[in-house]
Chain A
Amino acid sequence: MDLRKLREKVITIATNAMEGHIPSALSVLDILWVLYDRVLKVDPSKPQLPDRDRFVLSKGHAAIGLYVILAQKGFFPMSVLDTFGKYDSILGGHPDKNKIPGVEASTGSLAHGFPMSVGMALGLKIRRSPSRVFVIVGDGEANEGPTWESALLASHHQLTNLCCIVDYNHSTDRALQVGDLAKKYESFGWETCSINGHDHNEIFGALQRTGSGKPYAIVADTIKGFGCTDMENSPEWHHKYPKPEELPALLESLR
């Protein structure tokens, strides 16, 4: 299944469930695609291997994006995606680590996954594990205090095994300007780079790097709703599901 098909799946399952944050999922989908396809050392048939890399979706509301990637990689069957939002489903609007194979942390309330990933990285460092920890945070999450507490902790403990990817889709601009996030992370003692969060070569190049003696932040410039022309940068779609009659036109507008 290619990325366009996965975008179609994101929109379709949200429409059927009448739930989900579609634009946030599309915002991170390219990053997740490259991460799971070419970077993360994980085995979908053995999702609990001790020396696996860890991925944490700290902005848990982008969950459907993660679900379609996990299904695509074989952590669970594609058919499970169609249960999204149902009473007995393992898949809800935010990911649950105790239900979903491959999910490392249950997130939803912002700025919990990031400090948890700092703890994972610290624990793996103490154990001298070769594993890396990747976490995606949103720019809205940069409003939260524990985001910066986490940034302080990671640099103080020199967690070179930690990579924080900031999905900078400017969703918080209407509320609180967070400014130059790369400079902010640098001032907190991180090594940083800035990329186009939809360019797969840039994403792959950035994900391969690690900080020299520092944790490493990738500030990914992204577009909320990327790939669905009607939704791109449209705040009204943040937490809105399409009506069934709107679905064909939306799918038609997919890139």
Chain B
Amino acid sequence: MNMRQQLVQTVESVLTADERLIVLLGDIGVFGFRNSMKAYPDRVYNIGILEQATVSLAAGLATVGYIPVVHTIAAFLIERSLEQLKIDFCYQKLGGNFISVGASYDYSALGCTHHCPGDVGVLKNLPGMEIVVPGTSEEFDTLFRQAYANGHPTYFRLSERTNSHTYSSKFGKAEVIKSGKQLVVVAVGSALEPVLEAAQDDDVTVLYYTTVVPFDAETLREFAHSSKILLCEPYYSGILTSDIMNALYPKPLTIDHVGVPARFLSEYGTIDEHNDRIGLTSKHIKARMASLIR
């Protein structure tokens, strides 16, 4: 089951269990949610293609006791509606859930208007916004159930590419995939898959984060056996650098990062072609690891 299918299954299950949940679809995922739209016509809406008002409307629903889920393509949900997320949810301290599809360049052939490698970076500037980047469908299910009703605005970043194995089981907590001495690799979401392939024979620590905010500094402090850090993220690279430095302060660090470069990826093609070109591959990650360890 891919993440979009999991989204439907998870949210349908929570709709049944929790009468406070309301789903607002930005004309995306409508076929997937067709059954719940029939079952809960008062709580599942294809709201239309008006992301800014939809996010504000969701905040209004939150003020009268509902838990909104807003779902559409990442670029429109986050970058188009950024001020609504900032003022109507974060500033006003209202709870809500924002679930995107498209990730950095899942719509690779549609071009840059539908890319969103900047979502995590801009949301990190909104105080109070929680950010979840699941690496598998099961992880989305687990993390959504744990966080959806916690009273905070929470962003769930779904992606087409997923990891082969599920590791993350607790919101806000990093998983120690392996422990070693030469290097610490911090992998976020779907970046874990190439990291594990690259790191399988090396004496390195691999920490896996699916919750980006709040950042689990404790696990990093406990398992940072080396001052050399490689940060691997599936969005604009380097976003967690300051969190890592703050967590390990005043330890002197050498930090390198792999992720999406800060430029428009104006080529088309496939997700894998983009991954190859920008170096989100096990081969490239292994080379960066070797360079750090050297």
- The interface of chain A, by Cβ under 8 A from chain B, is 50, 54, 97-98, 104-106, 108-109, 111-112, 114-124, 126-127, 145-146, 149-150, 152-153, 156
Contacts and interface: CB of A to CB of B under 8 A. Distances in A.
Contacts of B87: 106, 108-109, 112
A97 B22 CA distance: 23
Contacts of A153: 47-48, 50, 53, 57
Given A98-B92, A126-B42, A146 B53 contact: yes
B92 A105 contact: yes
Interface in B111-166: none
Nearest to B62: A119
Given A106-B92, A126-B43, A119 B48 contact: no
A139 B63 CA distance: 26
B233 interface: no
Contacts of A145: 52
A115 B53 contact: yes
- Interface of A, secondary structure class, is helix
Contacts of B54: 115, 149
A123 B92 contact: no
A61 to B, nearest CB: 14
A25 B56 CA distance: 24
- Taking each of B57, B62, B68, B91, which has the highest tally of chain A beta carbons within 10 Å of its own beta carbon? B57
Contacts of B58: 119
Given A105-B63, A106-B92, 4 more contacts: A119-B61, A120-B60, A146-B53, A149-B50
A107 to B, nearest CB: 8
Contacts of B68: 119
Contact of A119 (B52, B56, B83, B93): B56
A51 to B, nearest CB: 10
B152 to A, nearest CB: 14
B61 A152 contact: no
B241 to A, nearest CB: 30
Given A106-B87, A106-B91, A116 B56 contact: yes
A112 B81 CA distance: 11
Contacts of B63: 54, 97, 104-105, 116, 119-120, 123
Contacts of A50: 65
B59 interface: yes
A109 B65 CA distance: 24
